[in-house]
Amino acid sequence: MTGILLHEGREYWFRAIFDDKADDWTTRRRFEPVALTDHELAAERMMHHAFEQVTTHYCFHLEKSQRFVKADWDKTDFWEKFPP
């Protein structure tokens, strides 16, 4: 799990840290914030925006009235633009 977070007015990229031995995949998530360059952060924002267009969930950076949950999502376009 990765994403962008806002902390004290600055954006960071984050990733979830999981402990395989503790089997903590669904609870007590810990996150590691990572400072990125402006160029790296712009690339992450672009990927995030593309992901928003195809996913079933909503993002908390949007006003509540702008959030919506799609019934389904099509990964084809996203993975063509951003191969794993």
Average pLDDT of the chain to the nearest whole number: 78
- Arithmetic mean of pLDDT, 3-13: 89
How many angstroms separate the most distant Cα atoms in the chain? Answer: 40
Residue with tokens 């031995």: 21
> Which amino acid would we find at residue 29?
R
Q: pLDDT per residue over 10-49, tens digit each?
A: 999 998 888 777 766 666 678 899 999 999 999 988 887 7
Domain boundaries, the chain: 1-35, 37-84
For residues 49 and 60, give the distance between their C-alpha atoms in angstroms, rounded to a whole number.
13
- Reported as a pLDDT band with limits 50, 70 and 90, residue 58 is low
pTM comes to 0.63
Q: Is the dihedral of CA 4, 6, 11, 13 positive or negative?
A: negative
- Arithmetic mean of pLDDT, 53-70: 69
